[in-house]
Amino acid sequence: MKSGKKSRLQKIPKEIREELDRTQVGVIAGISGHPMSGLWELHFADGSSAHIESGFGVRTLAQAFGATEGAGDLQEKIKGKKIAYVVDEYGIFTVFTPYGEFIDSLKAQGYYDYWKSLGKG
């Protein structure tokens, strides 16, 4: 690594580096669950999954991709969408961002080179 690039990466706050290290990328294959249970599972194209433990999380996901709550179009609207997301130690979905917005944000904040160095995207 060139010394100039290394010094730029070292200037990234530790908390940001740790959050980016935990961030995963996936293409949504679908979602399963029942509205009354409050427990949902988001499925990814690579076979992995993440649990969503509240209706709020599902509504947030729906709104990000233009699904209408209660209209039954959630599967259709989210399938094939690429997201950056974080799960906690129990596999619970804690935060997500549509991938294009995530990359734009990293570039705007000067963290994109670090993200590329992780080889995740």
Give the dihedral sign, CA 107/111/117/121: negative
Tens of pLDDT along 39-61?
899 999 999 999 998 778 888 99
Residue 53, domain CATH: 2.40.50
Judge whether 2 lies within some domain: no
More confident position, 35 or 11 = 11
Domain count, the chain: 1
10 Å Cβ neighbour count for 8?
A: 14
CB within 8 A of 87, min separation 6: which ones?
24, 50, 51, 93, 94
pTM of the full structure:
0.85
Judge whether 1 lies within some domain: no
Judge whether 4 lies within some domain: no
Distance of alpha carbon 11 from alpha carbon 121, whole angstroms? 21
Judge whether 5 lies within some domain: no
Long-range CB pairs of 44-51, under 8 A, 24+ apart, other chains included: 49/91, 50/85, 50/87, 50/91, 50/92, 50/93, 51/87, 51/90, 51/91, 51/92, 51/93
Domain around 21:
11-118
Percent of the chain having pLDDT more than 70? 88
Tens of pLDDT along 62-111?
999 998 766 578 889 999 999 999 999 998 999 999 999 999 999 999 99
Judge whether 94 lies within some domain: yes
Judge whether 3 lies within some domain: no
More confident position, 71 or 120 = 120
